[in-house]
Structure 1
Amino acid sequence: MPQAELTVARPMPEEPGILAFLELCDSFYPADAVDASIGQQRLWYDALCAQFDRPLPNGMITQDAAIGTIPTRRYRPASVRTDVKLLYLHGGGYVVGSLSSHHAICAELSEFAGAELVSVDYRLAPEHVWPAQTDDAFAVLKALLGTGEKVVLIGDSAGANLAAGLALRTRDEALSGMVGQVLIYPGLGGDLVSGSYEEMANAPGLTTTDTAYYRAILKAPADEPVAHPLLARSFAGLPPSYITVAHFDPLRDDGRSYAGRLAAAGVEVWFREEPQMVHAWLRARHMSDGAREGFRALCIAVSRFAGTL
C-alpha cells in the first residue's frame, strides 16, 4: 500500500489579538511574498507598514539628514532626560524596510525612554549585498561614538542581526561608548535545520524557508561572525544586552542560544520569550495584550540602558 504523505501542522498562537494581527498582515503581505519580485515585495511591505503608522507623540521633532553618506532620521522627544542616544536598525530581511517602515516604533521608543533616537536607512539587498548593510550601520555608529556619545544599539529581526554584528565590531576595534544592545527576535546564524528552525518551520509571519531566502539574497560569507554572531569565538566584553524572542518563530532559538553564551561569558544579559507571539509582533503592540506587555518590557530595558529608569 502506498504510504500516506505526512502533513506538518502549522504552529499557531491562541491569543485573539495576535490572531487578528496575523489576519490583517495576511491581507496586505501574502505568505508566499518571497516568491514575488523585489519591487512587489517592497510595495506590499510598505502598504502593510502604513496600516500600523501612528501620529508622533506630542512635541516630538524629527529630522532627516545624512550622517556621512548614510540617510538617517533623528527623533527628539519633547522631554529629553539623558545624553545617551538610541540607534535603531530596522528589520525586513535586508530586502524591505526603510525610515518610514519603523517610524512609529522608533517614535514610541524614543518617547518612553526620553532619549534621542537615530534610525538608519542602510542599503538593501539584492542591489547591495553584504557587507554594505553592516558597513552603513557601523559608519553611523562610529560617527556617534566618535563625538563622545554613549549609545544603546537596538534592532529587530535583520536589524538585530546587524546590531549584534556591530557589537562585535565595536568590541574588536576597542571603541568605547556602547552602553547596551537590545535585540528583538534576532536572526544570529543558526543552522536552519534543528530546534526552532524545525519546530517552527511553518510558523505564521516567518518560515524557515523565508529565513533561508533572506540569507541567500544577502550573500554573507557562511563563516563570518559579524554576519552570523553565534559563530563568534568569544562573547566576552560585549555590552549589557536585552534579548526578546517570540515562541512561534523559527529564529527563537538563535536568541536563546546567544543569551546563554553571553551569560556564560560574564556579560550582563536579560532574556525574555513571548509565549503567544510571532515574528514581527512589535507591530501588534496596539492590538495584542501580549505584544503590548512585550513592548513595555522592551521600552523599560531601553530606558534602563539609557539611564532614565
Structure 2
Amino acid sequence: MPSRRHDLLATLVPKVRKSRDLDNEPAERARVERWHGTLDRSLPTRATPGFARRWDTEVVDIGFPCHVLTPRRRRPTRTLYYVHGGGFMAPIDGFHVRYATRLADAIGARVVMPDYPLAPEHTWKDSHDALVDDAARWAGEEGGIVLAGDSAGGGLALSVALSMRDRGLTPATHLVMHAPWADLTTSTIEETRAADAIDPWLFFGKLQAYALWWAGSPDDLGRPEVSPALADLAGLPRAMVLYGTRDLLHPGCRLLVRRAAEAGWDLTAVEEHDLIHVYGLLPFVPESRRAFAQVVGFAR
C-alpha cells in the first residue's frame, strides 16, 4: 500500500501545477512555445542542498549545452550520464539535479546532464546523434558510464543505448530507467487509456500531442530513436527499469519488460503497485528511498 506521503504528493502536486489535459493541440503548442520564450535555461540547483559548495560546474557545447558536474571532495571514478524527463517539452528541473547528484555521490561518479532542445520547436533529429556521440565519448573514459533517465529521458537513454550498440561504440556499463516513455506509438492503447483514468499527473491527450511533436512526423513515431521499446533489444547493457501502476506509462513499461525477455536482454524490472509516475524521484517519501537503494545496489 502506498505511504501517506506518496498519496499526499499524488493529490497536491497536480492541483498546485493546475494539471489538466489539453483542450486542443494548436492552443497547447502555442502555450508551450510562449512558455519556452520565458525560460531561464541555467542549471536549477536550489533543490540540491550545498550544491555550490560540493560541485564544480562546466557547460560544454555539444550542439546544445551539456552540464558537467564534478564533485569537489572526492575523485570520480565513473560518470553518471543523466537524461532528464519532461515530456520532451520541459527543461531540466531542480529535482532532476537533486536526484542525479545524490546518485552520483552514492556510486562515486561525476554527473553529465545534457540540456537537449525541446519540442515542439525541435524533434529527436536535433539532438539524437549529438547525445550518442557525447555518451560514447564519456563511456570511453575511466570507469565508463551509467546511462540513466526518467520518463521521456528514460526513453531517450534507451534510444541512445540502442544507437551506441548499432554503431559499435563503447557501451554503458549500466542503464537505469525510471518509468521510461519508450513507446510513442502507444501500441498498448487500450491499457494506456485504462491507466489514464487513475493517473493523477499524466494525460492521454498530452501524451499523443507531445509524442507527435517529438517525432516530427507520424511516420517517425515507430523509429528506434523515438520508440526504442519496439526495437531489437538484444545486446544492450544490463539494465533496471522502475515504475508504478498508477502511471499512464506503465503499460509501455510492461511492454518493454516483455520484449526484453523475448530478446534475452538482462533487464531487472521493479513494478510497484499503485505508485505514480517517476515515484523514485519524489522527495521525502519512503517509496523513493527504497527505489534509490535498489538503483544504487544495481549500479555499484
| Common fold: TM-score over 0.5 | yes
Q: 1:16 matched to which residue of 2?
A: 4
How many Å separate the matches in 2 of 1:219 and 1:235? 20
Cα displacement (A) at 1:154: 0.2
Q: 1:85 matched to which residue of 2?
A: 79
Secondary structure at the counterpart of residue 250 of structure 1 = coil
The answer to whether the 8 Å contact 1:99/1:120 transfers is: no
The answer to whether the 8 Å contact 1:88/1:153 transfers is: yes
Q: 1:226 matched to which residue of 2?
A: 225
Q: 1:194 matched to which residue of 2?
A: 190
Equivalent position to 1:68, from 62, 70, 74: 62
The answer to whether the 8 Å contact 1:113/1:300 transfers is: no
Q: 2:153 matched to which residue of 1?
A: 159
Q: 1:25 matched to which residue of 2?
A: 13
Q: How does 1:209-220 map to 2 (within 5 A)?
A: 209-220=205-216
Q: 1:205 matched to which residue of 2?
A: 201
Cα displacement (A) at 1:56: 3.5
Equivalent position to 2:47, from 32, 46, 53: 53
- 2:255 matched to 1:260? no
How many Å separate the matches in 1 of 2:54 and 2:253? 32
- 2:236 matched to 1:238? yes
What are the superposed Cα offsets for residues 20-72 of structure 1, whole Å, 9 maximum, x if unpaired? 212331243222265551156669999xx989823146962131311433312
How many Å separate the matches in 2 of 1:72 and 1:52? 19
Cα displacement (A) at 1:150: 1.1
What are the superposed Cα offsets for residues 159-196 of structure 1, whole Å, 9 maximum, x if unpaired? 0111111111001001124111111101111315122x
Cα displacement (A) at 1:289: 1.8
User: What letter matches 2:207 in structure 1?
Assistant: T
Secondary structure at the counterpart of residue 159 of structure 1 = helix
- 2:287 matched to 1:290? yes
Alpha carbons of structure 1 residues 41 and 185: separation in structure 2 relative to 1, 3 Å: farther
Unaligned runs of 5+ in 2: none
Secondary structure at the counterpart of residue 277 of structure 1 = coil
How many Å separate the matches in 1 of 2:290 and 2:56? 26
Work out the percentage of aligned pairs sharing the same amino acid. 24
Q: 1:102 matched to which residue of 2?
A: 96
Secondary structure at the counterpart of residue 181 of structure 2 = coil
Secondary structure at the counterpart of residue 121 of structure 2 = coil
The answer to whether the 8 Å contact 2:14/2:200 transfers is: no
How many Å separate the matches in 2 of 1:236 and 1:298? 22
The answer to whether the 8 Å contact 2:215/2:226 transfers is: no
How many Å separate the matches in 2 of 1:50 and 1:18? 24
Q: 2:178 matched to which residue of 1?
A: 184
The answer to whether the 8 Å contact 1:64/1:71 transfers is: no
How many Å separate the matches in 2 of 1:110 and 1:199? 36
Alpha carbons of structure 1 residues 44 and 205: separation in structure 2 relative to 1, 3 Å: farther
How many Å separate the matches in 2 of 1:297 and 1:43? 38
Deviates more, 1:273-282 or 1:236-245: 273-282
Cα displacement (A) at 1:214: 1.3
TM-score, length-normalised on structure 1?
A: 0.81
Note the aligned Cα RMSD (angstroms).
2.9
TM-score, length-normalised on structure 2?
A: 0.84
Unaligned runs of 5+ in 1: 1-12, 305-309
